């Protein structure tokens, strides 16, 4: 039978309408199915926020976090190897082609997070370490010169301040409440690309990856699979509602680029360090006064311990808070202030939030019997008192104590002496420098392995270090020298 064109058109229209109805009904039921699945999996502490229907949405987190994440460019000099060459774990604040291990020029780039409307910005210590100038670029492309408020190598955090008001900022979330498997969003400036947003899940908590070289290091990272790369250092890790739960710090990589795992400093540690730097100019770190190691099946069998998780006490320092509270070698700590600690990283995180003089409740095992005691934390000098670098700076007459004037090197002097930075010793009189054998003209390039670029760096180092001070540098004729002074 032959069909005329009117009959053919009717058939095509009927087929088209049927197809549209079929697709529409499929999409309707598919959407409803996705909605049910998501509602079943929704994190408990996000129930106050009504997410869009369907799958997880990251738009709210991006809108909140993007304006509060900044780009940081650090310039100066550095000979600091402690942040490089630690495969398979790498920091990612330094572009590889701009880092010189031997007093070469430093131009490091990274990210930072605005914490207050008047311009306090947190970033990683390795982003600013060795620098003398810090340029901050905001989300709206405004640029500011920043001042260094303070830094803490133990946690790889630093605090900058810019002269601005009315800035967008992120509110702290509670990293303790973050759960493995929960969605998260990373915001930063990888490869100098402004405001890049990536998403992932919380893969693990309390990770110790042994990347920090500081003797009092605290490593209890949040592990995620959100893609981060060089330039992301100091950027934000946020929840779906835009709360700051971590500062992105390192990646697990053999190439220096993202390979599946990244690590962030928990917000509870960040908040404590930032508050200390603002209030005191230095971090107030409390110590139990013990040497520790992770408890495992082998150790538990060797010492007949009936659990395989916890922190084994390998030694107790004389005069420490732990000794005064009755803790002994061989004890196993499994709770700090009612928080379970399964390894050294988790315990260090809990103690790292506290200050000297704070009291902490410790649950421990001895002879497979549980005990509880209260330890009063002390600082590294064995005192329960808080100290301030600001107070110490103002009370010290540096010229009198050192017996010399210190002067920043000019650009011409840097070229003439073949150095990228340092401070020259002048007008030497009786004092600690002369007693140690220092001669006039000595250029101080390092104090206790930390690079010195200005007189302010010297004052900061002397204010934060007690006991022995190691000076490294050279004389104008090229002779290198090392001097140890008591302080």
d(CA 113, CA 236): 6
DSSP assignments along 265-277, one per residue: EEHHHHHHHHHHH
d(CA 426, CA 446): 17
389-486 has which fold? Pdz3 Domain (2.30.42)
- Would you give the distance in Å from CA 151 to the centre of its chain? 10
pLDDT tens figures, 23-59: 444 444 333 333 333 233 333 334 444 555 555 789 9
The phi and psi torsions of 40 (rounded to 5 degrees) equal: -70, -30
Of 166, 123, 119, nearest in space to 144 by CA = 119
The sign of the dihedral angle between the CA atoms of 81, 84, 85, 86 is: positive
CATH label, 290-376, candidates 2.60.40.740, 2.30.290.10, 2.170.190.11, 2.30.42.10: 2.30.42.10
On the question of a cis peptide bond just before residue 76, with omega within 30 degrees of 0, the verdict is no
Q: What ranges do the domains of the chain cover?
A: 5-41, 44-284, 290-376, 389-486
Query: If you average pLDDT over residues 350-362, what whole number do you get?
Result: 95
204, 223 Cβ separation under 8 angstroms: yes
389-486: same fold as 290-376? yes
| pLDDT of the residue at 105 | 56
Percent of the chain with pLDDT over 90: 51
Cα radius of gyration (the chain)? 28
Query: If you average pLDDT over residues 124-134, what whole number do you get?
Result: 89
* Residue 75 confidence (pLDDT) above 60: yes
pTM: 0.69
**Confidence band, pLDDT 50/70/90 cuts, at residue 295:** very high
**Confidence band, pLDDT 50/70/90 cuts, at residue 413:** confident
CATH label, 44-284, candidates 3.40.50.300, 3.20.20.60, 2.40.10.120, 2.20.25.90: 2.40.10.120
| pLDDT of the residue at 152 | 92
3-state secondary structure of 62: helix
| pLDDT of the residue at 29 | 38
224, 202 Cβ separation under 8 angstroms: yes
Alpha helices in 374-467 (DSSP H): 389-395, 398-402, 411-417, 432-436, 455-464
| pLDDT of the residue at 214 | 73
Rounded to the nearest 10 degrees, how much is the dihedral formed by the CA atoms of 12, 15, 18, 20?
Answer: -60
242, 64 Cβ separation under 8 angstroms: yes
Lowest mean pLDDT among 54-58, 84-88, 409-413: 84-88
| pLDDT of the residue at 222 | 95
Residues that are catalytic: 126, 156, 233
CA angle 215, 126, 220 (to 5 degrees): 55
d(CA 226, CA 183): 9
187, 59 Cβ separation under 8 angstroms: no
Beta bridge partners of 75: 107, 133
Percent of the chain with pLDDT over 70: 77
Query: If you average pLDDT over residues 391-402, what whole number do you get?
Result: 59
Beta bridge partners of 262: 224, 251
b/e per residue, 329-361, with b = 16+ CB within 10 A?
eebbbbbbeeeebbbbbbbbbbbbbbbbbbebe
* Residue 456 confidence (pLDDT) above 70: yes
**Confidence band, pLDDT 50/70/90 cuts, at residue 91:** low
More confident residue, 230 or 68: 68
């Amino acid at each position: 039978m032959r069909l005329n064109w009117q009959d053919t058109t009717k058939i095509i229209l009927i087929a088209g309408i049927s197809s549209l109805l079929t697709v529409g009904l499929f999409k309707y039921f598919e959407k409803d199915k996705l909605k049910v699945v998501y509602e079943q999996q929704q994190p408990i502490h996000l129930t106050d926020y009504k997410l869009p229907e369907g799958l997880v949405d990251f738009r709210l987190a991006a809108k909140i976090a993007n304006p509060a994440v900044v780009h940081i460019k650090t310039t100066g000099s550095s000979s600091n190897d402690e942040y490089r060459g630690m495969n398979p774990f790498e920091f990612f604040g330094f572009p590889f082609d701009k880092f010189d291990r031997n007093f070469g020029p430093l131009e490091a780039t990274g990210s930072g997070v605005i914490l207050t409307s008047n311009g306090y910005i947190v970033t990683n210590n390795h982003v600013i370490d060795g620098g003398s100038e810090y340029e901050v670029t905001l989300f709206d492309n405004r640029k500011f010169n920043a001042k260094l408020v303070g830094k803490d190598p133990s946690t790889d955090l630093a605090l900058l301040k810019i002269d601005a008001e009315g800035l967008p900022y992120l509110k702290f979330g509670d990293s303790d409440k973050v759960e493995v498997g929960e969605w998260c969003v990373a915001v930063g400036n990888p490869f100098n690309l402004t405001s890049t947003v990536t998403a992932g899940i919380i893969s693990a908590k309390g990770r110790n990856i042994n990347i920090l070289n500081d003797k009092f290091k605290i490593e209890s990272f949040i592990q995620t699979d959100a893609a981060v790369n060089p330039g992301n250092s100091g950027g934000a890790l946020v929840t779906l509602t835009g709360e700051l739960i971590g500062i992105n710090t390192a990646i697990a990589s053999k190439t220096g680029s993202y390979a599946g795992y990244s690590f962030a400093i928990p917000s509870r540690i960040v908040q404590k360090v930032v508050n200390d730097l603002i209030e005191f100019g230095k971090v107030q770190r409390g110590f139990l006064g013990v040497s520790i190691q992770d408890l495992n099946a082998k150790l538990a069998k060797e010492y007949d311990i009936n659990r395989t998780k916890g922190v084994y006490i390998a030694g107790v320092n004389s005069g420490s808070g732990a000794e005064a509270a009755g803790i002994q070698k061989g004890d196993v700590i499994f709770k700090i202030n009612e928080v379970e600690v399964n390894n050294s990283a988790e315990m260090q995180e809990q103690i790292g939030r506290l200050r000297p003089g704070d009291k902490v409740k410790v649950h421990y095992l001895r002879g497979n019997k549980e005990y509880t005691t209260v330890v009063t934390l002390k600082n590294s000098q064995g005192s329960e008192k808080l100290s301030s670098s600001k107070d110490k700076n103002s009370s010290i007459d540096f010229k009198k104590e050192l017996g010399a004037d210190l002067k920043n090197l000019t650009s011409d002097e840097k070229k003439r002496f073949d150095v990228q930075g340092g401070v020259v010793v002048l007008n030497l009189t009786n004092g600690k420098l002369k007693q140690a054998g220092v001669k006039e003209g000595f250029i101080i390039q390092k104090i206790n392995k930390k690079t010195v670029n200005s007189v302010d760096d010297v004052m900061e180092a002397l204010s934060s270090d007690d006991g022995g001070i190691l000076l490294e540098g050279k004389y104008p004729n090229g002779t290198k020298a090392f001097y140890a002074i008591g302080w």
